[in-house]
């Protein structure tokens, strides 16, 4: 089993609650140490219910949103009001419903020239992480406290798609790429900055992801073909939060998997 831990939730609702608890715990820890919480949100459809949950009173009141800086792991090169915009989705279901200062919402400018937008975003990330040049520092206050990621059924994550140069990037923190499989330009954080985070949490939900999750976590190491494998925190924690449907193909004979009894005989409760 590739590095990190996997936590299996019985249902997708329980999965979103587990993810919301992680978000709150990471925010509290970062604010205790560095006075603020710097998070990179993921896009796609899976995290939408997490963001909706975080906007509910039960969770929203547990985060001091005035000290949260919100970034994105990737964006589609579309205007911010476009239905395909990751920023739009997060704004509609979360950021417009919690008291995060507008100046702390750092969106990728998908409407601009992709190359310029990527360079501008790197400057903005570097400014907030107090690292004007050089490699990222893996220390509190100068790294992402939490990077949320999804996994596509082709093994991509953020907008690190199979066979694209950003997967192997060693210098730039943000890149623009034209991605053939989705016929569009994308902006993405690279592993250079993602891997310096205190915590990287993958959120994977649904049976349609089961075969790919098994390949990514328990198959041969082919990060160019399966970019989710390219993510490996240098000093931080890697966590996979998945539901039982997505975990259906995983071989359970390893200590890194914890979960709840789902179906008698299929999965033992906590293995430790
Ligand atoms: C995006 C995402 C992307 C996403 C996966 C999974 O902009 O599309 O950041 O990496 O996480 O494609 O998407 P779903 O959650 O919709 O399956």
For residue 92, the model assigns a pLDDT of 98
Give the whole-number percent of the chain exceeding pLDDT 70. 91
Q: Which two tokens stand for residue 73?
A: 């792991």
pLDDT of res. 2: 59
Residue 271 has pLDDT above 50, yes or no: no
Is the shortest distance between the CB of 154 and ligand 1 below 6 Å? no
Distance between CA 1 and CA 219 in Å, rounded? 8
Average pLDDT over residues 264-271: 41
Q: Which residues of 117-126 are buried (b: 16+ CB within 10 A; e: fewer)?
A: bbebbbebbb
Residue 251 is predicted with a pLDDT of 83
Which of the listed residues 42, 227, 242 should we mutate to test ligand 1's pocket, taking the one with most ligand atoms within 8 A of CB?
42
Question: In which band, very low, low, confident or very high, does the pLDDT at 265 lie, cut at 50, 70 and 90?
Answer: very low
Rounded Cα distance, 16 and 11, in Å: 9
Segment 80-101, tens digit of pLDDT = 999 999 999 999 999 999 999 9
User: Given the structure tokens 């390893």, which residue do they identify?
Assistant: 254
Q: What is the pLDDT of residue 270?
A: 41
Task: Please tell me the predicted confidence (pLDDT) of residue 192.
Answer: 98
Q: 143, 180, 162, 170: which is closest to 229 by C-alpha?
A: 162
pLDDT surpassing 80 at residue 133: yes
**What's the mean pLDDT in 124-141?**
96
pLDDT, average across residues 39-57: 98
For residues 50-76, average pLDDT: 98
Report CA-CA distances (Å) from 109 to 72, 77, 87, 94, 116: 11, 8, 9, 19, 9
Nearest residue (CA) to ligand 1, atom 7: 43
Q: Which long-range contacts (CB under 8 A, 24 or more apart) does 247-250 make?
A: 247/6, 247/8, 247/210, 247/213, 248/207, 248/210, 249/210, 249/211, 249/213, 249/214, 250/6, 250/213, 250/214, 250/217, 250/218
Mutate to test the pocket of ligand 1, among 40, 71, 152 (most ligand atoms within 8 A of CB): 152
Rounded Cα distance, 265 and 272, in Å? 17
DSSP string, 181-250: GGTEEEEEE-HHHHTTSSEEEEEE-SGGGHHHHHHHHHS---TTTSGGGG---SSSEEEEEEETTTTTT-
Higher-scoring residue by pLDDT: 253, 174: 174
Cα 37 versus chain centre, distance: 15
Q: What are 170-205's pLDDT values in tens digits?
A: 999 999 999 999 999 999 999 999 999 999 999 999
Query: For position 95, what pLDDT does the model report?
Result: 98
- 212 to 41, 202, 220, 255: CA distances (angstroms): 22, 13, 12, 20
State the pLDDT at residue 262: 45
| 264 CA from centroid of ligand 1 (Å) | 32
Please give the average per-residue pLDDT across 100-124, as a whole number.
98
- Using the predicted structure, report yes or no on whether residue 272 has a pLDDT greater than 60: no
Could you tell me if 256 and 184 are in contact, meaning their C-beta atoms sit under 8 angstroms apart? Answer: no
| pLDDT score, position 267 | 42
Characterize the bridge pairing of strands 174-179 and 237-243.
unpaired
How far, in Å, from the CA of 265 to the mean position of ligand 1?
Answer: 33
pLDDT tens digit sequence for 141-171? 999 999 999 999 999 999 999 999 999 999 9
């Amino acid at each position: 089993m590739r590095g990190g831990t996997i936590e299996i939730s019985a249902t997708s609702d329980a999965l979103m609650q587990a993810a919301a608890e992680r978000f709150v715990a990471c925010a509290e820890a970062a604010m205790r140490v560095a006075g603020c919480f710097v998070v990179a949100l993921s896009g796609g459809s899976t995290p939408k219910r997490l963001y909706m949950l975080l906007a509910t009173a039960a969770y929203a009141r547990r985060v001091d949103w005035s000290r949260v800086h919100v970034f994105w792991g990737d964006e589609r090169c579309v205007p911010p009001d476009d239905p395909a915009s990751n920023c739009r989705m997060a704004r509609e279901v979360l950021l417009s419903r919690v008291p995060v200062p507008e100046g702390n919402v750092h969106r990728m400018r998908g409407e601009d020239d992709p190359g310029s937008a990527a360079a501008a975003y790197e400057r903005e990330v570097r400014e907030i992480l107090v690292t004007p040049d050089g490699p990222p520092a893996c220390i509190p206050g100068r790294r992402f406290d939490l990077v949320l990621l999804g996994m596509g059924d082709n093994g991509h994550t953020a907008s690190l798609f199979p066979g694209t140069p950003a997967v192997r990037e060693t210098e730039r923190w943000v890149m623009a790429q034209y991605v053939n499989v989705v016929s569009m330009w994308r902006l993405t954080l690279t592993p250079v900055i993602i891997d310096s985070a205190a915590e990287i949490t993958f959120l994977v939900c649904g049976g349609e992801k089961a075969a790919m999750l098994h390949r990514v976590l328990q198959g041969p190491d082919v990060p160019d073909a399966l970019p989710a494998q390219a993510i490996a925190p240098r000093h931080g924690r890697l966590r996979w939060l998945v539901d039982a449907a997505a975990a259906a193909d995983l071989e359970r004979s390893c200590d890194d998997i914890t979960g709840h009894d789902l179906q008698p005989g299929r999965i033992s409760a906590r293995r430790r």
